[in-house]
Structure 1
Amino acid sequence: MGESQEEPIICIPGQRLCAADKTNIAGQGTYEQLGYVYSKFAGTVKVVKEKDTCTVEVHGMTDQSIVPAPGDIVTAMVTLVNQRLCKCIIKCIGDIVLSRPYRGIVRREDVRATEKDRIEMYKSFRPGDIILARVLPMTEAHTYQLSTAENELGVVIAHSEEGVSMVPVSWTEMQCPKTLIKELRKVAKVVPEEVILQNE
Structure 2
Amino acid sequence: MSTSTLTLPGQPLGPASANNPGTGTHIQSSHVHSSLAGALTSVPSKSKSQPQPTLTITRPAGPLVPETGTVVLGRITRTNPRQATLSILALGSGGEHTCRDTFPALIRQQDIRATEIDKVKVAESFRVGDVVRAVVISLGDERSYFCSTAKNELGVVMAVSEAGNQMVPVSWREFLDERTGVREVRKVAKPV
TM-score by length of 2: 0.70
Alignment deviations for residues 139-190 of structure 1 (CA, whole Å, 9 cap, x no partner): 3123110000000000000001221111111111111000110000000001
Q: Look up the SS of the partner of 1:109 in the other structure.
A: helix
Q: Report the AA paired with residue 185 of structure 2.
A: L
Q: Which runs of structure 2 are paired with 1:84-163 in the superposition (5 Å)?
A: 84-94=82-92, 95-163=96-164
Q: Report the AA paired with residue 149 of structure 2.
A: T
State the partner residue of 2:58: 59
Q: Report the AA paired with residue 65 of structure 2.
A: V
Q: Look up the SS of the partner of 2:171 in the other structure.
A: coil
Q: Which runs of 5+ in 1 are unaligned?
A: 12-41, 45-57, 192-200
State the partner residue of 2:32: 7
Equivalent pair of 2:63/2:91 in contact (CA under 8 Å): no
Q: Look up the SS of the partner of 2:179 in the other structure.
A: coil
Give the number of the structure whose alpha-carbon radius of gyration is greater: 2
Residue 81 of structure 1 pairs with residue 79 of structure 2: yes
2-structure distance, mates of 1:64, 1:70? 14
2-structure distance, mates of 1:166, 1:2? 60
State the partner residue of 1:48: none
Q: Report the AA paired with residue 175 of structure 1.
A: L
* Deviation of the 1:43 alpha carbon: 2.9
2-structure distance, mates of 1:138, 1:96? 19
TM-score by length of 1: 0.68
Q: Which runs of structure 2 are paired with 1:150-189 in the superposition (5 Å)?
A: 150-189=151-190
Equivalent pair of 2:69/2:137 in contact (CA under 8 Å): yes
Q: Look up the SS of the partner of 1:136 in the other structure.
A: strand
* Deviation of the 1:9 alpha carbon: 2.5
Q: Report the AA paired with residue 122 of structure 2.
A: M
Alignment deviations for residues 112-144 of structure 1 (CA, whole Å, 9 cap, x no partner): 000000000000000000000000122312311
Candidates 27, 38, 43, aligned match of 2:38:
43
Equivalent pair of 1:68/1:93 in contact (CA under 8 Å): yes
State the partner residue of 2:20: none
Q: Report the AA paired with residue 69 of structure 2.
A: G
Q: Look up the SS of the partner of 2:103 in the other structure.
A: strand
2-structure distance, mates of 1:76, 1:170? 21
2-structure distance, mates of 1:93, 1:142? 19
Higher helix share: 1
**4+ long deviations beyond 3 Å:** 1-6, 62-65
Q: Report the AA paired with residue 66 of structure 2.
A: P
RMSD of aligned alpha carbons:
2.4
* Deviation of the 1:2 alpha carbon: 6.6
Identity across matched positions, percent: 37
Deviates more, 1:64-73 or 1:168-177: 64-73
Q: Look up the SS of the partner of 1:140 in the other structure.
A: coil
Report the number of matched residues: 148
Q: Report the AA paired with residue 183 of structure 2.
A: K
Equivalent pair of 1:64/1:98 in contact (CA under 8 Å): no
